Amino acid sequence: MTAAIARYPRRFATLVKLEHSVFALPFAYVGAFLAVDGVPRASLLAWLTVAMIAARTLAMALNRLIDADIDARNPRTRDRELPRGLLSKAQVGVFCLASLALFLVAVSQLAPVVRWLWPIPVVAFVAYPYLKRATWLCHLWLGLTIGMAPVAAWVSVTNELPLEAWLLGAAVASWVAGFDVLYGLFDLDVDRAQGLHSIPARFGPRGAFAVARVLHVATPILLSAAGLLLDVGFVYWLGVFSVAALLIREHALVSPSDWRRLDAAFFTMNGAIALGFFGFVLVDALL
């Protein structure tokens, strides 16, 4: 009995892929550090971290819950916890409510305006899984949703939303939407067979790569635009250069006719982009 109970934390952690927090959380810290032009108070960073992890956990759990039947019909995803029966829909529903409760507790400790804005990301989380049933623009919605990370962090520590915060959010949105378009190649045939919508399913591999490249060209441009409005040093600009270089490397790993290294392009390169850019921003803040 004890051994069975002990398996549940691992199942929930796998369900929401906690390791993928490496994408959004570093950019939330980027927003927070740039907002105060230095290092935010430890208590603010702690509550911001809790809020971000709880929000991302809620988003992933909702996605798995809403897409459970679709996942069961997809060879790539049918071994996930819900299709296999390792977790029930009721259990995941309770997990969603617990994540939402933790998110609201953390939000209550941040800037006053955030206590009124919290429904916006929650609505975005709920809407995202349904969009693939209606439009190939779903990738852009995911980008906008994760692009909220630096914007939310900025307003959480300053109670303000200047243009530079929006530019950071737009940079993250274009970056995420771009790699999500490429990731959609894994489900190209299944999406077409099930009548689901994605840019790869609508425009094919070459169209998907073209869209991803445009979005990823926009990412360092938007980071540069934000930097021009901020009081940053040369280390920030090294960070922008590193993002551009890693995106070039990411697109060099795969092509419309060769997706063999798509996993490396998705996780390794994008994890390096998020962690690396935050590292540059951190150093710049400390100098």
Confidence band of 20 (pLDDT split at 50, 70, 90): low
Split into its structural domains, the chain has a count of 1
The string of pLDDT tens digits covering residues 86-122 is 899 999 999 999 999 999 999 999 999 988 999 999 9
Which residues on adjacent β-strands are paired with residue 258? 255
Output 156-160 pairs: Cβ under 8 A, ≥24 positions apart.
156/32, 156/44, 156/48, 156/51, 156/110, 156/111, 156/114, 157/32, 157/35, 157/36, 157/40, 157/44, 157/48, 157/110, 157/111, 158/35, 158/36, 158/111, 159/111, 159/112, 159/113, 160/35
Confidence band of 265 (pLDDT split at 50, 70, 90): low
Q: Note the pLDDT of residue 261.
A: 78
Q: Note the pLDDT of residue 271.
A: 85
* CB 171 within 8 Å of CB 219: yes
Q: Note the pLDDT of residue 3.
A: 43
Instruction: Please tell me the pTM assigned to this model.
Output: 0.93
* CB 142 within 8 Å of CB 112: no
For the chain, the average pLDDT equals 91
Nearest-angstrom CA–CA distance, 193 and 258: 22
pLDDT at residue 4 is higher than 60: no
The angle formed by the CA atoms of residues 270, 130 and 154, to the nearest 5 degrees, is: 50
pLDDT at residue 2 is higher than 70: no
Kindly state the DSSP code that residue 259 receives in the 8-state scheme: -
Nearest-angstrom CA–CA distance, 169 and 255: 27
**Domain range enclosing 241:** 2-286
* CB 55 within 8 Å of CB 121: yes
pLDDT at residue 266 is higher than 90: no
CATH number of the domain where residue 195 is located: 1.10.357.140
The string of pLDDT tens digits covering residues 123-181 is 999 999 999 999 999 999 999 999 999 999 999 999 999 999 999 999 999 999 999 99
Confidence band of 1 (pLDDT split at 50, 70, 90): very low
pLDDT at residue 224 is higher than 70: yes
Neighbours of 258 (CB within 10 A): 10
